[in-house]
Homo-oligomer: A and B are copies of this chain.
Amino acid sequence: MEIKVLKDILGANEQIAGINRQLLDSNNVFAVNLMSSPGAGKTSLILETIKRLKGKTRIGVIEGDVSSSLDAEVISKEGVPVVQINTGGGCHLDANMASSALGNVPLKDIELLIIENVGNLICPAEFALGEHKNVLISSIPEGDDKPFKYPLIFHKADAVLINKIDLLPYLKFDTEAFSQVIKGMNEEVEIFPLSCTTGEGLVQWVSWLMAQMGKG
């Protein structure tokens, strides 16, 4: 019974996500669903991505948070359109929330939409939003055992960004083993070690992103 209800919820979500994707496609907007633990660096990555793609593509952002609008305020200073979703206690975005937000995004004026999901490695993996690619940030201080503990989100990711590599000298983290485990779960995944603090690896990330948009 419980499983049936869950299937219905997820089925309805997939349907709305499909409608969102059609809306994005009809406006030639490429959408990324950006997921991570709290504090892994989603907002920092968005800021660095906006800076590096200035003049190359037009970006919009949907910010997902439980209650605040701190990140949306920081991002709007970069001069890109930002729409805030507050889940009011909910631990993930869903396609219905994304649909409401999309109605407030100037889709005609952008080519790339980055949707910052709620900081959580569990439920966001279950709810498609209409995105074209799922991108997961996993940061060095979280430890290299995360793929074993949160397998679904690593399995669903099109790209995994290993953030905060500037902290590698101070922490135990086997980047090679971590990457091999992810590749074992998800053969097609792209992996980008990077640091939003030093800028290392960000060129590779934005090049991949532009290539996905057909601007490679």
Contact = CB atoms under 8 A, between A and B. Distances in A.
A122 B151 CA distance: 19
A127 to B, nearest CB: 12
A39 B37 contact: yes
A84 to B, nearest CB: 12
A187 B37 CA distance: 27
Contact of A65 (B142, B149, B166): B149
A150 B66 contact: yes
A68 interface: yes
Interface residues of A, number: 34
Contacts of A65: 149
The prevalent SS among residues of A at the interface is loop
A146 interface: yes
A150 B39 CA distance: 11
Contact of A122 (B66, B142, B150, B164): B66
B119 A121 contact: yes
A119 B121 CA distance: 8
A91 interface: yes
Interface centre among A89, A122, A145, A171 (most CB of B within 10 A): A122
Contact of A164 (B89, B118, B141): B141
Given A122-B91, A167-B167, A146 B67 contact: no
A11 interface: no
A17 to B, nearest CB: 19
A126 interface: yes
10 contacts: A37-B37, A37-B142, A38-B150, A39-B146, A66-B122, A66-B151, A70-B148, A91-B122, A120-B120, A141-B141
Closest 10 A/B residue pairs (Cβ): A39-B142, A141-B141, A91-B122, A37-B38, A39-B143, A37-B37, A68-B148, A91-B123, A38-B121, A68-B149
